[in-house]
């Protein structure tokens, strides 16, 4: 059942929400340098992340930590003085973000939150890697594009990401690998930067090379058996994970800062983040999430891995383990599907290890009550199980796990390796976004998200927390993208709500056929804690498609009732009232998994022993961990990346050593 109504109490609800926000967010603090104390730490509890709070109140509160401080206004000299007075030092500043990284004792860091000019302080957390595709996703189906010229003739072009820059924020790239050459033997890795402090941009760990190859590897090896989604895109190598596969939030922020300053020079339209860290504080306070939002607002699609924590140590299904920055609503968060090595999609499943929503990052109000974000994530899933792509020579992952060497070639610059995980799924979506931008450069990030969700294939038997709108379908998304008007955003005036979005009055047929298998599009999108359906999503311009807004800005929630904002979305967009387990046809079909109202419970209705529709227990502090990742997170994620689901792999094709140039 779907419903949409406009409420006269919307303004009143917003005012109440604002009042509550102000009550919980404003703290009184002096601006003069002062010594730390227990009272100031307690008073500012709602302005520091939970993990920092635990360190500051523990027996080792005097230990030095690296934190990220976000001021409520501009960074003033008074904050600098207070940091210095309490033995701290500013270690990193950012050109495009109003935040700084500070090295200081945990106790002193927590005390700084009592200042009125400090908005939020969080730990500089560790960032981890998460560990036939072009045919099954539909990339090959759109590779050759035929258009009609002004004189009535035809012209054939190749949709391969040409001219589009994809930033890969990962462990570096082995730029000498054959996979990263263009058709003229030029290097497509157009720039490399290191943000780990190791002063190198190659890939001793091995994760980033594989990820970049999925998004944009060429088809020279094994007759294009392992061609990437956008094989002629420009690659921007931003190394944020060190030789052990570890990084920091501040290093990731520095890389995002660099993109914001250099995106125009390299036409960076897509940034892939196959990385993850604990999603503790709400996306509204998480500095990495806020940085991602800045990228999206600037016109860059950010694809983020959902995480590999979909099951616990005993193999039981768990929910609520979406990582940061995948918990950021503006990001395109991608889960992992399993193609079972076949091009046809009738047997595809969501992998057991792919992290499920809802997002469990939270804010804490002045009374100590946690308010969970509870967003439906991921938005889509894409193939990520046992994929074969480029291997960096001598990398640590294969050294420690030699079974991952695919034995495709004895030549280092042509070798391939297996990997599994949402880390592999995210660059599939990144490559797809690059193809959409090549097909229609006027698209916005929100439009790209809508097209990828609207044309996705719902997989039967999986709920929205597991697959979002469904499995990526590049053929359908490109078909619609080519029909989207290019003059809508060319004017200085914002397009009118409900304006015609397409160049045709007849919407495209909502089915796709790949490898002899025909499937229906979802014809809907995931937004916030619900979903929306209706042909208006692709036939009429919605205000939420612009820059500087979220797709969910058109949805308001009050007392479990969904309200549509008539200034953001047209009347033909219908909002759902439940999270559903799909019947495999349309978004919103199938049986109710959990009602939307349950998602408003701030951990009361969604946890504490309440069972969801399939009998899976969501226990706050047990499986979800109240925003704190389980103790075996790193081990579990690595296990998923190495082992994957038991199934057939991508077909293995030994390389002849002769470059294939027909890709």
118/154 same-domain check: no
**What pLDDT is stored for residue 530 in this prediction?**
92
Residues 6+ apart with CB under 8 A from 510: 455, 476, 520, 521, 523
Average pLDDT over residues 224-229: 94
**What pLDDT is stored for residue 270 in this prediction?**
98
Average pLDDT over residues 641-660: 80
Q: Which CATH number goes with the domain that contains 220?
A: 3.40.50.200
Cα separation, 208 vs 128, whole angstroms: 12
166/283 same-domain check: yes
59/202 same-domain check: no
Average pLDDT over residues 625-647: 51
Cα separation, 498 vs 280, whole angstroms: 38
- Own/partner contacts of 599-607, CB < 8 Å, gap of 24 or more, are 599/358, 599/374, 599/376, 599/529, 600/374, 600/529, 600/557, 600/560, 602/362, 602/369, 602/370, 602/371, 602/372, 602/374, 603/362, 603/370, 603/372, 606/358, 606/372, 606/374
Is 304 part of a structural domain of the chain?
Answer: yes
**What pLDDT is stored for residue 129 in this prediction?**
55
Angle subtended at Cα 63 by Cα 58 and Cα 64, rounded to the nearest 5 degrees: 130
Q: What is the pTM of this model?
A: 0.86
**What pLDDT is stored for residue 622 in this prediction?**
28
Cα separation, 381 vs 472, whole angstroms: 6
Phi, psi at 161, each rounded to 5°:
90, 5
Domain residues for the domain of 357 are 138-490+626-643
Q: Any idea which residues carry the catalytic annotation?
A: 170, 207, 423
Is 423 part of a structural domain of the chain?
Answer: yes
Instruction: Write the pLDDT tens digit of every residue in 310-334.
Output: 988 888 889 999 999 999 999 999 9
Phi, psi at 169, each rounded to 5°:
-95, 100
**What pLDDT is stored for residue 637 in this prediction?**
60
Q: Terminus-to-terminus CA distance in the chain, angstroms?
A: 46
How many domains would you assign to the chain? 2
Is 649 part of a structural domain of the chain?
Answer: no
Residues 6+ apart with CB under 8 A from 385: 336, 337, 338, 339, 351, 420, 424, 644, 645, 647
List, as one string, the DSSP characters of 359-372: ---EEE-TTS-EEE
Instruction: Write the pLDDT tens digit of every residue in 570-595.
Output: 999 999 988 999 999 999 999 998 87
116/253 same-domain check: no
Which of the four pLDDT bands, split at 50, 70 and 90, describes residue 564?
confident
Residue 12 in this model has a pLDDT that exceeds 70? no
From residue 252, alpha-carbon distances to 117, 276, 652 in Å are: 25, 11, 35
Residue 39 in this model has a pLDDT that exceeds 50? no
Is 25 part of a structural domain of the chain?
Answer: no
Cα separation, 530 vs 54, whole angstroms: 33
302/405 same-domain check: yes
Is 259 part of a structural domain of the chain?
Answer: yes
329/450 same-domain check: yes
Percent over 70 (pLDDT), the chain? 84
Is 568 part of a structural domain of the chain?
Answer: no
Angle subtended at Cα 194 by Cα 193 and Cα 198, rounded to the nearest 5 degrees: 150
Cα separation, 102 vs 121, whole angstroms: 10
Half-sphere exposure of 299 (CA within 13 A, CB side): 15
Instruction: Write the pLDDT tens digit of every residue in 470-503.
Output: 999 999 999 999 999 999 876 667 889 999 999 9
94/160 same-domain check: no
Count of other CB atoms within 10 angstroms of residue 632: 12
422/295 same-domain check: yes
From residue 45, alpha-carbon distances to 25, 48, 53, 361 in Å are: 10, 6, 7, 16
Residue 426 in this model has a pLDDT that exceeds 80? yes
287/407 same-domain check: yes
Q: Which CATH number goes with the domain that contains 79?
A: 3.30.70.80
Helix (H) or strand (E) holding 533: strand 530-533
243/282 same-domain check: yes
**What pLDDT is stored for residue 638 in this prediction?**
63
List, as one string, the DSSP characters of 216-231: H--STGGGGTT--SST
Q: Taking all residues of the chain, what is their mean pLDDT, rounded to a whole number? A: 85
Quick one: tokens of 214?
């999925």
Is 369 part of a structural domain of the chain?
Answer: yes
Is 316 part of a structural domain of the chain?
Answer: yes
Average pLDDT over residues 203-227: 95
Cα separation, 170 vs 211, whole angstroms: 8
List, as one string, the DSSP characters of 249-286: HHHHHHHHHHHHHHTTTTTEEEEEE-EEB---B-TTT-
Quick one: tokens of 309?
């924590």
231/368 same-domain check: yes
Q: CA torsion angle for 173, 177, 178, 181 (degrees, to 10)?
A: 40
Cα separation, 275 vs 286, whole angstroms: 15
Average pLDDT over residues 643-653: 77
Phi, psi at 627, each rounded to 5°:
85, -10
77/222 same-domain check: no
């Amino acid at each position: 059942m779907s419903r949409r109504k406009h409420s006269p109490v919307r303004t009143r609800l917003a005012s109440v929400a604002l009042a509550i926000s102000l009550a919980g967010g404003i703290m009184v603090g002096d601006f003069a340098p002062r010594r730390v104390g227990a009272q100031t730490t307690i008073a500012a509890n709602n302005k520091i992340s939970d993990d920092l709070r635990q360190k500051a109140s523990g027996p080792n509160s005097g230990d030095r930590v690296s934190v990220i401080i976000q001021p409520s206004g501009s960074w003033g000299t008074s904050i600098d003085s207070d940091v210095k007075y309490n033995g701290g030092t500013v270690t990193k500043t950012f050109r495009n973000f109003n935040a700084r990284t500070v090295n200081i004792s945990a106790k002193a860091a927590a005390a700084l939150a009592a200042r009125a000019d400090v908005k939020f302080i969080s730990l500089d957390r560790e960032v981890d890697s998460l560990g036939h595709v072009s045919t099954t996703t539909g990339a090959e189906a759109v590779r050759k594009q035929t258009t009609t010229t002004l004189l009535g003739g035809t012209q054939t072009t190749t949709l391969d990401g040409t001219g589009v820059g994809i930033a890969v924020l990962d462990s570096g790239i082995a730029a000498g690998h054959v996979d990263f050459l263009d058709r003229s033997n030029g290097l497509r890795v157009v720039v490399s930067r290191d943000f780990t402090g190791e002063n190198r941009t190659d890939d001793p760990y091995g994760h980033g090379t594989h990820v970049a190859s999925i998004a944009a590897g060429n088809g020279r090896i094994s007759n294009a058996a392992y061609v990437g989604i956008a094989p002629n895109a420009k690659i921007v190598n931003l190394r944020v994970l060190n030789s052990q596969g570890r990084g920091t939030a501040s290093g990731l922020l520095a890389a995002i800062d660099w993109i914001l300053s250099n995106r125009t020079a390299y036409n960076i339209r897509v940034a892939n983040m196959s990385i993850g860290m604990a999603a503790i504080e709400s996306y509204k306070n998480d500095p990495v999430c806020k940085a991602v939002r800045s990228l999206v607002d600037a016109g860059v699609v950010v694809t983020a891995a959902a995480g590999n924590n979909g099951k616990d140590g005993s193999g039981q299904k768990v929910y609520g383990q979406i990582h940061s920055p995948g918990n950021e609503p503006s990001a395109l968060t991608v889960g992992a599907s399993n193609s079972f090595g076949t091009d046809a999609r009738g047997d595809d499943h969501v992998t057991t290890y792919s992290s499920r929503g809802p997002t469990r990052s939270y804010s804490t109000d002045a009374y100590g009550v946690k308010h969970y974000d509870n967003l439906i994530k991921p938005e889509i899933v894409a193939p990520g199980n046992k994929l074969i792509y480029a291997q960096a020579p001598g990398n640590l992952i294969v050294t420690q796990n030699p079974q991952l060497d695919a034995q495709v070639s004895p030549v280092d610059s042509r070798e391939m390796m297996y990997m599994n995980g949402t880390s592999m799924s995210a660059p599939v979506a990144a490559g797809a976004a690059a193809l959409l931008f090549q097909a229609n450069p006027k698209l916005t990030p929100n439009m790209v998200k809508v097209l990828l969700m609207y044309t996705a294939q719902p997989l039967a038997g999986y709920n929205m927390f597991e697959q979002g709108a469904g499995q990526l379908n590049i053929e359908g998304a490109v078909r619609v993208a080519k029909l989207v008007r290019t003059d809508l955003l060319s004017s200085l005036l914002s397009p009118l709500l409900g304006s015609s979005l397409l160049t045709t009055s007849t919407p495209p047929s909502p089915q796709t056929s790949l490898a002899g298998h025909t499937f229906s599009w979802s014809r809907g999108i995931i937004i916030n804690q619900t979903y929306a359906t209706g042909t208006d999503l692709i036939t009429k311009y919605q205000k939420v498609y612009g820059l500087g807004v979220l797709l969910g800005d058109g949805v308001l929630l009050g007392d479990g009732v969904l309200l549509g904002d008539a200034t953001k979305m047209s009347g033909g967009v219908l909002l759902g009232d439940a999270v559903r387990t799909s019947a495999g046809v349309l978004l919103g079909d199938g049986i109710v998994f959990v009602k939307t109202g349950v998602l408003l419970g701030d951990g009361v209705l969604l946890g504490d022993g309440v069972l969801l529709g399939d009998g899976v227990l969501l226990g706050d502090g047990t499986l979800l961990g109240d925003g704190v990742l389980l103790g075996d997170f790193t081990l579990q994620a690595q296990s998923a990346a190495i082992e994957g689901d038991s199934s057939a792999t991508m077909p293995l094709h030994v390389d002849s050593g002769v470059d294939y140039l027909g890709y």
